[in-house]
Amino acid sequence: DQQVKQNSPSLSVQEGRISILNCDYTNSMFDYFLWYKKYPAEGPTFLISISSIKDKNEDGRFTVFLNKSAKHLSLHIVPSQPGDSAVYFCAASVLGGGSQGNLIFGKGTKLSVKP
Amino acid sequence: NAGVMQNPRHLVRRRGQEARLRCSPMKGHSHVYWYRQLPEEGLKFMVYLQKENIIDESGMPKERFSAEFPKEGPSILRIQQVVRGDSAAYFCASSPLPGGPSDTQYFGPGTRLTVL
């Protein structure tokens, strides 16, 4: 049973436009969410995170929105650049409790930004 | 992910051999996580360790897999008697402190294990 779902395997966007990557989760215990970017043959690189007490977190061109009632979060990249082309993973964790913060990942969305 | 070191980057083993994967966390980090990524899949949690302690191994297969994080030296993920299904990318991550807003995990470049 997949607790973190990224339903779009791929997304293609024109340079300069907005990229919106979506993520849904099923476990209402999740209270910390992260986005990672991954290039081929490299490890995931942390991008941005959000705690469940917030509904928005912004860092430069990257903004993450969290809708707890819908169990949905999204990553907005504005403006998109060709160097943003990568696979983006959504991850969630339960802080405290027995899981000790291990991350549950979605399957990823491959973003292609065309010049 | 600069700072988390993994070696080897690529490892080829024949069925039945042992694989040892090493991970040195970022400086100042004492918490290490191991994840496995199969082709076309997301990363799957395997085990969480602190120095000399296994905190959570709920994602680790019960047989053939073991992990350690000794007082000195890197964390080791050991796979005995490898099978073809063990072929995957194995990522190590470290964090300074779990269970809080600073719980961001930083990943190494991974070890790609191929079992022939």
Listing DSSP states for A58-111 in one string gives EETTEEEEEETTTTEEEEEESS--GGG-EEEEEEEE--SGGGTT--EE---EEE
The Cα of A38 is separated from the nearest Cα of chain B by a number of Å equal to 10
Strands (E) in chain B, as ranges, are: 5-7, 10-13, 19-24, 31-37, 43-50, 53-56, 65-68, 75-79, 88-95, 106-107, 111-115
CA A107 – CA B42 distance, rounded (Å): 4
Q: What per-residue confidence (pLDDT) applies to A98?
A: 44
Q: How much of chain A, in percent, has pLDDT values that exceed 70?
A: 93
Return the SS3 of B20.
strand
* B23-36 per-residue burial string, b: 16 or more CB within 10 A, e: under 16: bbbbeebebbbbbb
Asked if residue B5 has pLDDT above 80, the reply is: yes
Place of tokens 């290039």: A39
Q: Given B42, B104, B112, which is nearest A34 (Cβ)?
A: B104
Q: What per-residue confidence (pLDDT) applies to A93?
A: 87
CA B71 – CA B96 distance, rounded (Å): 16
Nearest residue to A20 via CA among A7, A3, A39, A2: A7
Give Cα B93 distance to the centre of its chain.
Answer: 8
Q: What per-residue confidence (pLDDT) applies to B2?
A: 54
Q: What per-residue confidence (pLDDT) applies to B41?
A: 84
Question: Do B104 and A49 lie within an 8 Å CB cutoff?
Answer: yes
Instruction: Among B9, B30, B43, B57, pick the best mutation site for testing chain A contact (most A Cβ within 10 A).
Output: B43
Q: What is the pLDDT of residues B49-89, one digit of tens each?
A: 988 899 889 999 999 999 999 988 999 999 999 999 999 99
Q: What per-residue confidence (pLDDT) applies to A77?
A: 98
Q: What per-residue confidence (pLDDT) applies to B40?
A: 79
> What is each CA distance from A98 to A78, A93, B99, B102, in whole angstroms?
37, 11, 10, 18
**Residue B100 backbone phi and psi in degrees, to 5:** -155, 180
Residue B110's region, left for phi above 0, alpha for psi from -120 to 50, else beta, is left
Structure token digits, residue A113: 């930004």
Confidence label for B30 from pLDDT (cuts 50, 70 and 90): confident
Q: What per-residue confidence (pLDDT) applies to B76?
A: 97
Confidence label for A101 from pLDDT (cuts 50, 70 and 90): low
Give first-to-last CA distance, chain A, whole Å: 38
Q: What per-residue confidence (pLDDT) applies to B98?
A: 56
Would an 8 Å CB–CB cutoff place B67 in contact with chain A?
no
Asked if residue A99 has pLDDT above 60, the reply is: no
Question: Do B108 and A43 lie within an 8 Å CB cutoff?
Answer: yes
**Side-by-side strand order, sheet with A19-25:** A4-5, A19-25, A72-77, A62-67, A56-59
Confidence label for B103 from pLDDT (cuts 50, 70 and 90): low
CA B102 – CA B96 distance, rounded (Å): 7
Asked if residue B1 has pLDDT above 50, the reply is: no
Q: What is the pLDDT of residues A20-66, one digit of tens each?
A: 999 999 999 898 899 999 998 899 999 999 989 999 999 999 999 99
Residue B47: beta bridge partners? Answer: B34
The Cα of A2 is separated from the nearest Cα of chain B by a number of Å equal to 10
Instruction: Among B4, B31, B56, B104, pick the best mutation site for testing chain A contact (most A Cβ within 10 A).
Output: B104
Q: What per-residue confidence (pLDDT) applies to A97?
A: 47
